[in-house]
Amino acid sequence: MSLWVDKYRPNTLAKLDFHLEQGERLQKMVTKGNFPHLLIYGPPGAGKKTRVSALLRELYGPGVEKLRMEHQNFTTPSNKKIEVMTIASNYHIEVNPNDAGIYDRIVIQEMIKNIAQTQQLDIGGQREFKVVILTEVDKLTKDAQHALRRTMEKYMTTCRLILCANSTSKIIAPLQSRCLAIRVPAPSQDDIIKVLQMVSKKEGITLPADFAIRLAEKSERNLRRALLMLEACKVQQYPFNIKQEIVEPDWEVYLRETGQKMVSEQSPKALLEVRGRIYELLSHCIAPEMIIKKLLKEILKNCDGQLKAEITSMAAYYEHRLCLGNKVIFHIEAFVAKFMAIYKRFLEESFANI
Amino acid sequence: MSQQNGWVKPDFASGSKGNTYSIKKQSSRKTHLCDSSIMKQSTETNIEYASKPVNSGELVVQKKKVAEVKHWLELAFSTSHKAQFLLLTGPPGCGKYQTLSVLCKELNIEILAWDEPIKQYGANEWEYGQYNPQHHAEAKQADVNFYDHLEEFLERAGRFSTLKMKHAKCSGAHKSPIQKILLLKDFPPMIFKNLERWHNILLKYSQKRRTPAVFILTSTKSFNSTHLKLFPTVLSERLMMSTINFSGLANTFVLKALQRVSLKSKQATPPEVIEGIVESCNGDLRSALNVMHWITTSNANISKPSAYSKKRKIVSDVKTDSLNAMYVRDGSLDFMHAIGKIVHSKRLTQFDQERLPDLPKHLLEEFRLPLKENVNELTKNIGEVSSKVLLYLHQNYPLYFNRIEDVSKAVGYLSSADSLGNQLVHKEIFDECSLLIGVRGLLFSNTSVNGNAWRPLRKPDHYSVLLKQKEFHLYAQELYRNEYGTSFFSEILPFVRLIRPELKSTAGLKCTSNNHQLNLSTHVMGSQNSAFIPDIDPAGENSDVIIEDYDD
């Protein structure tokens, strides 16, 4: 049994539910045959992957859906072995180069070289190029991005790249200029409600309009999330009650509690407690950037206007440090401690004024 | 030159003149001991004489290590020829050579040691006469020569019959067939100039399968790099080299040895002094013996009470005035000890007023009393990778702080240290800087006086968290194969757990449960992780309220 998110994922460009005009343009691009490198970016849950897979199907037909998982091995110059998991069909290969950490450059270069060096024998039957999909490109190291630049030009005849990213801000300019950048914006609330209703109709369940609105609000314009929430709610209680609590990811609830703790007590002891909680989240593979982001969101609720600016800049600073450094806990903890110190000072000042 | 009838000079007294290779035998062992130790007097003194272990029972090295070496030696001379190379490593003065030599004596094996020649190689008469006539004297580069030299030594030493012939006179009549091992003890710096050559020499030697060879490598702080340079893993695998790692001697061992020596030498050393020496020697027996020797020679003048006072000083304060403390060694500190010193951040209360800087008004709050420790010395002597030190500091510092403001400053420094230390180029420099920033940052930001309360130092949780991350990653990959980005864990997995009842109990952060403990099911992680969250207080009400607030 697959999840509803996967089950009702549109598999052709024609079946897309929103951003229809963009879908049409993509369609036209495929039929015209002049297919460039693509850079598809947008917030999570906006449908980037869906569009990519629909595009592939449009390019190569249903054969592209026969996927196989492969583990590929690469060797670094320092003789370290890296294993990277790829998902491939006969026509394309998808890889998340982040699995290789700082060795992503080698993975990208080797892999693209391998693919691009084989020419299609029968050009008449299909496209003369294969497609390489790289996900989470914004997390690539600068080194890898520069390497990609050269590789892209060199193998243009036999291979096209589709890069997926959340934002273009971390992608170097030369790379952006070599690709056709397509932004997939987050679906509007109405779009989400429409999809939710459609899915529940297909599943044969009734979804009250109010509940759909609440789901859409709670999902923060993330369709994937909305659908997962719907399914989770259905498992918990069906038929739906309008007052029903909407399930949230447990780690967010956990992080919210952590934020409350930070606001309620500022001492070295409280810091140790928060550290324990952050360690717990980290060991569940929650991305450290997410932790800082959600934590900030939570504590900002309790802050005064001018404090907000100060704390947000702190968060930004330590989020940057996070990327530079090696041990994430140092930086998250630094943010937590800085907040505690600032907040304590703020409390003391406001008490003094009274 | 014409009188030279062998390539080894039997007379060691004249060894300094054109020294090429010297064969160490039982009779010459003492000379060798003098070479390697820092002993000032090379003549027989009571202590030195008494300190030499006679049999393997008297060795103060761990019994297990002795047995290991013995096993290797037996293996080396068994018919299978499985063992040809042995590498002994360990800190200075832990008895590597003594173990080997005593065992060899017991097993009736001769040690053939290579000595680094003192003279310029080119001027070597033997070489001049026979080997490379065209490469004369100064025309040669010392290091090239050095390799030739080494290679020839190995080659010659391997040729059993030659050696025996040339040596029949000095090694005496052997009834049993002589068993020999080669010993390479000191690796001169020249060896690093052309490591390839060195490796080739080793390989070549190994192919001929001759006399077993033992290498003794004194490991210092940079142990890893030297070790790996000289014997890369690939090479040692090919050579089938066994490595035995000696650790520094435990204090009790040193104590035992010193007591025995002092008994034997009939020069009573006060027990307090012995204890003091033991404390400061850091597992280095050789230096301990030297210090003891030094003290006993001047013992006539030192009355007991004064020695006693000295010892007290050492125990209370490691860095005492060098003039007063005769036997204090400023070697590396115990790792945990150093961490403790840093987190305690002790400051002087008495100091020279005039030496304090005049701070402008706005900086007055940054004023600190002088530190008790010399930070540069401290960081130099830690002897661990800086990232490990930082992790230990990070794990333990908050307990030593009273004010959150200080903590926030301190952890800010740690964060800087970490981002600075994570560089690929010029790693050593950045590492050192990052360590200094971390250490000094912690010392500077701690303004609270902590007294001497004892707090246990904890091992960093970092490692266990990394391990768990890996396990969890694998688990998730198995669970749900086709999506595996980083967003998977935060976006999809929590819902999947809710949607699929069979997974409901597994791998969750159970935050709605009363005690806030995150229970990982045993199915995923294997073990509960109570140790890894330091006492989270079970106040559950708080969180429930929050959830309600949010939903409204």
Confidence band for A3, pLDDT divided at 50, 70 and 90: confident
Length, in residues, of chain B: 552
Mutate to test the interface with B, among A242, A283, A291 (most CBs of B within 10 A): A283
Neighbours of B322 (CB within 10 A): 9
Contact B418 A327 (CB under 8 A): yes
Up-side HSE of residue A141: CA atoms within 13 Å toward CB?
Answer: 17
Alpha-carbon distance of B275 to B252, in angstroms, equals: 10
- The number of angstroms, rounded, from the C-alpha of B87 to the middle of its chain's C-alpha atoms is 15
Size of interface A-B (CB pairs under 8 A): 205
Residues of A in contact with B419 (CB under 8 A): 321, 324-326, 331
- Nearest residue in A to B234, CA atom: A79
Average pLDDT for A214-225: 89
Name the residue facing A279 among B461, B473, B486 (closest C-beta): B461
Judge: A326–B404 Cβ closer than 8 Å, yes or no: no
Q: Look at strands B213-218 and B179-184 and give their pairing.
A: parallel
Q: Do B487 and A229 touch (CB under 8 A)?
A: no
Q: CA of B401 to nearest chain A CA: how many angstroms apart?
A: 7
Confidence (pTM): 0.59
Chain B contact set for A102 (CB, 8 A): 424
Assigned architecture for domain A250-353? Up-down Bundle (1.20)
**Is there a contact between B412 and A276 if contact means CB atoms under 8 Å apart?**
no
Of A87, A268, A282, the CB nearest to B398: A268
Minimum Cα–Cα distance from B392: chain A residue? A330
For B462-473, what is each residue's pLDDT tens digit?
A: 888 988 888 888
pLDDT of residue A37: 92
pLDDT at A312: 93
Rounded to a whole number of angstroms, the distance from the CA of A262 to the nearest CA of chain B is 12
CB B20 within 8 A of CB B156: no
**Interface residue of B365, B399, B407, B414 to substitute, partner A, most A CBs within 10 Å:** B407
Query: Which residues of chain B fall below pLDDT 70?
Result: 1-51, 79-83, 115-146, 157-178, 186, 188-190, 193, 209-210, 219-226, 265-269, 279-282, 297-334, 353-355, 383, 449-453, 480-487, 501-552
CA torsion B129-B131-B135-B139 (nearest 10°) is -70
**B508 contacts on A by Cβ (under 8 Å):** 250
- Does A43 score more than 80 pLDDT? yes
The CATH classification number of A4-183 equals: 3.40.50.300
Residues near B134 by beta carbon (within 8 Å), at least 6 away in sequence: none
Q: Is B510 within 8 Å of A250 when comparing Cβ atoms?
A: yes
**Using CA atoms, how far apart are residues B333 and A132, in angstroms rounded to an integer?**
54
C-beta separation of A229 from A215 below 8 A = yes
Asked if the bond preceding B212 is cis, omega within 30° of 0, the reply is no
Q: Comparing B499 with A296, which gets the higher pLDDT?
A: A296
Q: Is B302 exposed, middle or buried (0-12, 13-18, 19+ CB in 10 A)?
A: middle
Residues in chain A: 354
User: What is the model's pLDDT at position A236?
Assistant: 83
| Cβ-Cβ contacts under 8 Å for B395 (sequence gap 6 or more) | B458, B459, B460, B461, B462
Contacting residues of B for A317, CB less than 8 Å apart: none
Ordered by start, the domain boundaries in chain B are 26-245, 251-316, 335-445, 463-551
User: Which range, A102-106, A314-318, B126-130, B376-380, is most confident?
Assistant: A314-318
Chain B residues whose CB is inside 8 A of the A260 CB are 542-543, 546
- Residue predicted with more confidence, A134 or B129: A134
Of B399, B417, B536, the CB nearest to A273: B536
Q: Do A287 and B547 touch (CB under 8 A)?
A: no
Write a three-state SS string for B338-397.
HHHHHHHCCECCCCCHHHCCCCCHHHHHHCCCCECCCHHHHHHHHCCCHHHHHHHHHHHH
Residue of A nearest to B411 (CA): A334
Min CA distance, A128 vs chain B (Å)? 27
> Is the CB of A327 less than 8 angstroms away from the CB of B462?
yes
Q: How far is A81 from chain B (nearest CA, A)?
A: 15
CB contact under 8 A, A286 and B490: yes
pLDDT at A290 over 70: yes
Which residue of chain B is at minimal alpha-carbon distance from A45? B491
- For strands A92-95 and A81-88, give the pairing: antiparallel
- What confidence tens digit (pLDDT) does each residue in B121-180 have? 444 444 444 444 444 444 445 555 667 777 777 777 665 544 444 444 444 444 445 677
The candidate with the shortest Cα–Cα distance to A138, out of A106, A171, A172, is A171
Position A125 scores a pLDDT of 57
Q: From the list B486, B495, B516, which residue is nearest A229 (CB)?
A: B495
Cβ within 8 Å, pair B415-A280 = no
**Is A271 within 8 Å of B404 when comparing Cβ atoms?**
yes
- Please state, in angstroms and as integers, the Cα–Cα distance from residue A44 to each residue in A214, B67, B486, following that order: 19, 62, 11
- CB–CB contact B546 A260 (8 Å): yes
Which residues, 6+ apart, have CB-to-CB distance to A26 below 8 Å?
A13, A51, A54, A55, A58, A182
| Winning range, highest mean pLDDT, from A2-6, A319-323, B523-527, B535-539 | A319-323
Q: B546, A260 in Cβ contact below 8 A?
A: yes
Name the CATH superfamily housing domain B26-245: P-loop containing nucleotide triphosphate hydrolases (3.40.50.300)
Instruction: Give residues with Cβ within 8 angstroms of A319, minimum separation 6.
Output: A289, A292, A293, A331, A335
Q: Give the separation between CA B225 and CA B315, rounded to whole angstroms.
A: 34
Give how far A122 is from chain B: nearest CA, Å.
30
Calculate how close chain A gets to B261, using CA atoms only, in Å: 50
Q: Do A268 and B477 touch (CB under 8 A)?
A: no
CB A179 within 8 A of CB A5: no
pLDDT tens string A332-354 = 999 999 999 999 999 998 888 87
Residue B50: predicted pLDDT: 61
| Residues paired with B371 in a beta bridge | B347
Instruction: Give every strand in the sheet of A130-134, ordered side by side.
Output: A68-75, A81-88, A92-95, A130-134, A159-165, A38-41, A180-183
Chain B nearest CA to A7, separation (Å): 13
Contact in structure between B417 and B437 (CB atoms under 8 Å)? yes
CA dihedral A152, A153, A159, A164 (to 10 degrees): 30
Query: Inter-chain contact A249–B494, Cβ cutoff 8 Å?
Result: yes
